Amino acid sequence: MKFKNFANKNQYTVMLLVMLAAVLVFFSITRGSLLWTGDAWYGMAMQFPEYGLMTLGVMFCFITGNIDMSFVALGNFATIFAVRYMAANAAEGASDGHVRAVIVTGILITLLICLIGGFINGVLVTKLGIPPVMATIAMQLVWQGLSTALTQGNTVTGLPAMYTEIGHSKMFGFLPFPLFIFIIAFILCALIVRYTVYGEMIYMIGTNVKAVRYSGINTDRVVILTFVITALVSGVGSLIMVSTMASAKADYGSSYVMRVILILVLAGILPDGGMGKIPDLLLALVIIQIIASGVNMFASLNTYYASLIWGALLLIVLIASTKLSGGIFKIRDDKKKKQVSSQ
Amino acid sequence: MNKTAWKRLTKRTEFYIFIVLIALIAGIQIVSGGQLLEPTTLVTILRGMVVDGMFALICLIVMISGGFDLSFPAISAFAYSAATTICVNQGWCETNPLAGFLLAILFGAILGAFNGWIIANFKLNTMIVTLGTQTFFTGLTMGLFQMKEITSTLPASFRALGESYFFEVYNSQGQRSTLTTSIVFLIIMIAVTSFVLRKTMFGRALYAIGGNEVSAERAGYNVKRIKFILYVAVGALAGFIGMVRVCLARQSIPKAMVGKEMAIIPAVILGGASIFGGEGSVFGTICAIGLITVVSNSMLLVGIDSYWQNFFNGLVILIGITISAVQAKRQRR
Amino acid sequence: MSEYLLEMSGICKAFSGVQALDHVNFHIRPGKVMCLAGENGCGKSTLVKIISGVYVRDQGDVFFQGQKLDRITPAEATRLGIQVIYQDLSIFPNLTVRENLAINSEITDRRRIVNRKRWTKTAEEALSRIGYQIDLDVKMGELSVADKQLVAICRALLFNARLIIMDEPTTALTKREVDALFRTVRKLKEEGIAIMFISHKVEEIFEISDDVCIMRNGKNVFEGPTADLTRDDFSYYMTGRRIQPDPFVPEHIQEKPVLEVEKLCADPYYHDISFQLRKGEILGITGLLGSGRTELAMSLFGLIRPDSGKILLNGQPVSIKSPEKAKELRIGYVPEDRLTEGLCMRQPIADNIMLASLDKVSRRGILNHRKLFSEACRWVKTFSIATDDPHKYAQTLSGGNQQKIVLSKWMNNNLDILILNGPTVGVDIGAKQDIHHLVHGLAHKGLAVIIISDDISEVVTNCSRVIVMKEGMIVGEMKSEEITDQRITEIIH
């Protein structure tokens, strides 16, 4: 009875759970001996945190009814600076303490640039009234263009060894460092969304920004802050990507933009705003990563099979959800009206 | 009357894009010491506009209907990869490229129909659906069918078509440039698209649906069918344009289309199309594509390193959309 | 031949077990105006949709010109000459007037190619039916609501309409525009066209209609000539209860004004506005649509920046730059449009109630969910908002209850001034009185209230002082003793 109640209230979560189970069962049957090994799960734990963090960041944007397409390009731009700085200042033979200080500064540089980038996005959207898709696509082109111009399209290397070592270390002897960072960020974001005034406001803004403004709340400030948070959290993802790649480049992770949006949509967090639950996000992330890793276990399949399955999965979810009560993916009339009137 | 017509003209984004385009050309012409309007540069720019211009037009018609298509590059990639692969395997198209084009159009139409079926039947958000189909189609092309790059084995007729030209010109250093025959495709497509959009009830239906879908249904349009036809047509055209690209590049690379939507969509919006639907014109779109092509092709002429190309593209788009957003904000007051 | 154009009897329609229409009878005569009245959710729109063929009835007979109709499809309805003008007018804002007028018949004629000449001919023919003139090249979105409506009427007439159904056509019109609309309606009557007019505004119904049909809870409770009906009966039939007007009597008005506005200007909305507001009083600001009343209110809440002039709060000059500044200065604002400005419809009732006072249920940015919910429940009880669970979405409530949410939003804020813009627009008569009582109570407790409304009777009964605005200027001010419907109406026009 209790379960039935839960299932009714959380139809979407249940659907994702069923999907996760289906994916697990499928790969257990076909590649059980490979799937249920420590190596397989370690591999997954190393892979997903970088785009997992980006997804987590962009989630804030989606909840407020905005969208960010610039996060990967911004992250690349920021890390190019940071890697250059670190490469220049942590010369071989420098003391550990010095290298550590350089790394911390490098991370701070990345985050500072991300903060500025997020702020610009926010200002373009709120103060100038540019539709968020457009503003952030344009900024994506700008950041990527700048990165290309500064690096002449080359890979930026010379990271201190310590940086990549940290990236591959294990916390408490078993927890991969990227996963550790992801878990901390996830808990932090979940707490922010659930238990802060800011978290309450972003859901309300995503549903009807005008009503929130008319309640005496500075919505522009909240939205700008949201773009900043998005940029910062996904910037952490970029930092992890840099440690995996041991370098930075203008076009690293370019497929992540679409993947992140796909995960969010799969999790029922739509750019329409005001929707979505954080646990669903985790489920969607895990599903996507298991598919990616599962596909890898078939020697005959290339990685694009994962893309095939992801696409199919998203479409199935889209169509299935039209049968659920609420039909969250349907074109929303009120939203459309709002857009027209704000044009 | 003349005054109101003028007023109406100045309200249109297309008008400004056109003026900016002219101003930019004039500016670069002066800075580069007259190099921009040299015949060699001009034919290069025209060549650069062929594929992007046609992609922009299909993007435009979807956007007018209130849709947002992220999947056309994926459809295009599947269609041309499949078509060229078949042609190579069967030994077709050594003398006549027609079969290859027909195959690409067919494949494009099938994938487009898949898009159309989902969008029309389930009334779903088009951006999300096409994000899904984009991922799916890419998986088909490079996963399930494992389509390979075709370069040196490309059928001769494709190569011939790509290399054919109307006339050749030489610049002062004696460098040779040619005006590709494929420009005809762009010209035909511009003519047909503007005719369909302005002079047929189907085109007007797209504007009507983009303006107010419920009203369009009440007015008696079969919205479902129109949307389905639209996405089939867009798919077929995406296949066709992909083939043109294969000919011009003289190679078929399945990955080449990845991220193309991010280059085309902003340009279309720069040209005056609204992401909310119902607005946009062929003229504005072509001007915007021209603007971007001019900017990217004249970097070297004005002494800027070509690595800056993407940055300036982004900047042009950012400035363009900022101006139109600020203008819209002012008009509302 | 029957004397009726359309005759419906014993119409029933149920949706998943809920009886939306319960044996409804309905008659309409050619060349007459029939008003269909009733509160929200009484089944009006279901009935219209059955007539226009969108829904299929479960039971009952329909006769059109004496001929029995078994099944009505939308195409059949058009063929018979039944045209519906929906509240949103079904227009295309991005297309020109010419195209808007021509589009329907082009589709019906299965045209494939655009012929501008034919369009112009169709459009001019349509406009000539009611002798209306407008530039055909203007985009529909640039027209005023009244013009859009006339275009929509012209378009309906193209189909040899015999019955035109207008769904709440006067909602967004000024009085003058309503008069123009009514002139058109009378013209159509003379041509023998029957008009079905859906409305809940008493004055309009008595002015324009020949017959009235009043519905309540899916049944028709009255059907007959308008002449047989008094205004009291009308509201009784609408609500099912007799409503006594209950005027506001101020208890204690403070001597010192809390708000002083001096020579406030904001081009092009209003000019040279000066007035004072005291705690304990309810000040009415009325005027036609476009008189600057809404913009004045928005300026007091920091949504529109005035160009010149002064605003003093408790004698201190202040600059209200933004809504959050206004809130800080203890000014609250209940906006005109609940759907787009007042509520987050797809969020819980409780969260909506607490939206303006999140700082009261949080500490250092950390939200106390339990406190939020219990506070919200308190207001649900105090304002008797009809819901069994404040976790439900705000959109599940009726207009009146939604308005109470918007009102309660400000109650935690210890306000000095509350500005209500159109507080009872789209609210049922019964709920209207509840809201007025709540507002009276607030004024008695020492709040300074401004009610902005174009509903003159609302202003008359609920305000202790009234300011009348016209074309951006104050054209009259009167004390409670002097306030009457007639005087305001005189000044307003």
Selected for mutation to probe chain B from A77, A136, A307 (highest B CB count within 10 Å) is A307
Does B332 have pLDDT greater than 70? no
Domain boundary pick from C190, C207, C239:
C239
Give the pLDDT of residue A341.
35
Give the pLDDT of residue B32.
83
C67 and C133 assigned to the same domain:
yes
Is there a domain that residue A110 lies in? yes
Could you tell me if B295 lies within 8 Å of chain A, comparing CB atoms? no
C464 and C334 assigned to the same domain:
yes
Give the pLDDT of residue A339.
40
User: Would you give the DSSP letter of residue A134?
Assistant: H
Burial A17-54 (b: 16+ CB within 10 A, else e): bebeeebbeebeeebeebbeeeebeebbbbbbbbbbbb
C232 and C298 assigned to the same domain:
no
Return the percent helix, strand and coil in chain C, to nearest 5: 40, 25, 35
Could you tell me if C87 lies within 8 Å of chain B, comparing CB atoms? no
Neighbours of chain B (3+ CB pairs under 8 A): A, C
pLDDT top residue among C15 and C33: C33
Give the pLDDT of residue C258.
94
3-state secondary structure of C48: helix
| Average of per-residue pLDDT across C368-383 | 93
pLDDT band at C311 (very low <50, low <70, confident <90, very high): very high
**Residue at C331: amino acid letter:** I
C136 and C76 assigned to the same domain:
yes
∠ CA B116-B119-B121, rounded to 5°: 95
B133 vs A148, A311, A336: nearest CB: A311
Structurally, how many domains does chain C consist of? 2
Does C110 have pLDDT greater than 70? yes
- Using a pLDDT cut of 90, give the percent of chain B over it: 63
Is there a domain that residue A106 lies in? yes
| Average of per-residue pLDDT across C55-66 | 89
C326 vs A196, A199, A216: nearest CB: A216
C290 and C384 assigned to the same domain:
yes
Q: Residue A197 and residue C362: Cβ atoms within 8 Å?
A: yes
C348-368 pLDDT tens trace: 999 999 999 999 999 999 999
Half-sphere exposure of A16 (CA within 13 A, CB side): 23
pLDDT band at B234 (very low <50, low <70, confident <90, very high): very high
Residue A73 belongs to a domain with what CATH number?
A: 1.10.3470
Selected for mutation to probe chain C from B4, B7, B204, B223 (highest C CB count within 10 Å) is B204
Residue C191 belongs to a domain with what CATH number?
A: 3.40.50.300
Q: Residue C88 and residue B214: Cβ atoms within 8 Å?
A: yes
Give the pLDDT of residue A55.
97
Peptide bond into C268 cis (omega under 30): yes
Could you tell me if B325 lies within 8 Å of chain A, comparing CB atoms? yes
Mind telling me how many Å the CA of C86 is from chain B's nearest CA?
10
Half-sphere exposure of C143 (CA within 13 A, CB side): 27
Is there a domain that residue A23 lies in? no
Selected for mutation to probe chain B from C110, C114, C140 (highest B CB count within 10 Å) is C114
Which residues, numbered 303 to 332 in chain C, qualify as contacts with chain A under a Cβ-Cβ cut-off of 8 Å?
303, 322-324, 326-328, 332
Class of residue C221 by CB neighbours under 10 A (exposed 0-12, middle 13-18, buried 19+):
middle
Is there a domain that residue A16 lies in? no
| Average of per-residue pLDDT across C456-485 | 87
Most confident region among B245-259, C169-183, C387-401 by mean pLDDT:
B245-259
Most confident region among B8-22, B240-254, C470-484 by mean pLDDT:
B240-254
Give the pLDDT of residue A328.
57
pLDDT band at C487 (very low <50, low <70, confident <90, very high): confident
Is there a domain that residue A9 lies in? no
Does B218 have pLDDT greater than 90? no
Which residues, numbered 66 to 105 in chain A, qualify as contacts with chain B under a Cβ-Cβ cut-off of 8 Å?
69
Contacts of residue A343 in chain B, CB cutoff 8 Å? Answer: 274, 276, 328
Residue of B nearest to A129 (CA): B325
pLDDT band at A70 (very low <50, low <70, confident <90, very high): very high
C218 and C301 assigned to the same domain:
no
Whether this model's ipTM surpasses 0.90 comes out as: no
Range of the domain at C35: 6-239
Extended beta strands in C82-199, E state: 82-85, 163-167, 194-198
Q: Could you tell me the two tokens for C463?
A: 């305000």
Is there a domain that residue C249 lies in? no
pLDDT top residue among A272 and C451: C451
Does C201 have pLDDT greater than 80? no
Does B246 have pLDDT greater than 70? yes
| Average of per-residue pLDDT across A44-65 | 95
Give the pLDDT of residue B117.
95
Does C463 have pLDDT greater than 70? yes
Does C274 have pLDDT greater than 90? yes
pLDDT band at A330 (very low <50, low <70, confident <90, very high): low
Q: Residue B214 and residue C114: Cβ atoms within 8 Å?
A: no
Is there a domain that residue A100 lies in? yes
pLDDT top residue among A3 and B42: B42
Mind telling me how many Å the CA of A335 is from chain B's nearest CA?
11
Boundaries of every domain in chain B? 16-325
Q: For B37, phi and psi rounded to 5 degrees? A: -85, 15
Is there a domain that residue A4 lies in? no
Is there a domain that residue C479 lies in? yes
Is there a domain that residue A289 lies in? yes
Could you tell me if A315 lies within 8 Å of chain B, comparing CB atoms? yes
Could you tell me if B141 lies within 8 Å of chain A, comparing CB atoms? yes
Contacts of residue B138 in chain A, CB cutoff 8 Å? Answer: 304, 307-308, 311
C261 and C230 assigned to the same domain:
no
Q: Residue A204 and residue C365: Cβ atoms within 8 Å?
A: no
Q: Could you tell me the two tokens for C391?
A: 């976790």
A12-47 pLDDT tens trace: 888 899 999 999 999 999 988 888 888 889 989 999
C225 and C262 assigned to the same domain:
no
Q: Could you tell me the two tokens for C383?
A: 């304002």
pLDDT band at A227 (very low <50, low <70, confident <90, very high): very high
Among the residues of B220-259, which ranges form H helices? 223-249
Give the pLDDT of residue A50.
93
Integer Cα distance of C446 and C462 in angstroms: 15
| Average of per-residue pLDDT across C168-194 | 86
Most confident region among A218-227, C164-173, C469-478, C483-492 by mean pLDDT:
A218-227
**Residue at A270: amino acid letter:** L
C93 and C214 assigned to the same domain:
yes
Beta bridge partners of C310: C262
Q: Could you tell me the two tokens for C488?
A: 């305001």
- Using a pLDDT cut of 70, give the percent of chain B over it: 98
Q: Which residues contact C110 (CB under 8 A, 6 or more apart)?
A: none
| Average of per-residue pLDDT across C3-30 | 87
Contacts of residue C394 in chain A, CB cutoff 8 Å? Answer: none
Q: Residue C95 and residue B214: Cβ atoms within 8 Å?
A: no
Averaged pLDDT of chain B: 90
Give the pLDDT of residue C236.
85
**Cα separations in angstroms, C217 against C43, C168, C190:** 7, 19, 34
Which residues, numbered 244 to 283 in chain B, qualify as contacts with chain A under a Cβ-Cβ cut-off of 8 Å?
258-259, 262-263, 265-266, 269, 274-276
The single residue listed with the structure tokens 């519905």 is: C215
Residue of C nearest to A207 (CA): C344
Which residues, numbered 203 to 232 in chain B, qualify as contacts with chain C under a Cβ-Cβ cut-off of 8 Å?
203-204, 207-208, 210-212, 214-216, 218-221
Q: Which residues contact C358 (CB under 8 A, 6 or more apart)?
A: A197, A200, A201, C367, C372
Range of the domain at A172: 34-325
Integer Cα distance of C349 and C389 in angstroms: 8
Could you tell me if C340 lies within 8 Å of chain A, comparing CB atoms? yes
A77-123 pLDDT tens trace: 999 999 999 999 987 777 888 999 999 999 999 999 999 999 999 99
Structurally, how many domains does chain A consist of? 1
Which residues, numbered 271 to 290 in chain B, qualify as contacts with chain C under a Cβ-Cβ cut-off of 8 Å?
278-279
**Residue at C266: amino acid letter:** A
Give the pLDDT of residue A335.
44
pLDDT band at B295 (very low <50, low <70, confident <90, very high): confident
Averaged pLDDT of chain C: 88
Class of residue B65 by CB neighbours under 10 A (exposed 0-12, middle 13-18, buried 19+):
buried
Give the pLDDT of residue A338.
39
Is there a domain that residue C250 lies in? no
- Using a pLDDT cut of 70, give the percent of chain A over it: 93
Give the pLDDT of residue C229.
87
C207 and C332 assigned to the same domain:
no
Contacts of residue C90 in chain B, CB cutoff 8 Å? Answer: 212, 214-215, 218-219
Integer Cα distance of C469 and C273 in angstroms: 9
C232 and C277 assigned to the same domain:
no
DSSP string, C462-479: H-SEEEEEETTEEEEEEE
User: Would you give the DSSP letter of residue B293?
Assistant: H
**Residue at A12: amino acid letter:** Y
Give the pLDDT of residue A333.
45
C115 and C193 assigned to the same domain:
yes
A235-260 pLDDT tens trace: 999 999 999 999 999 999 988 999 99
Is there a domain that residue C248 lies in? no
CATH of B16-325 among 1.10.3470, 1.10.10, 3.30.40, 3.40.50: 1.10.3470
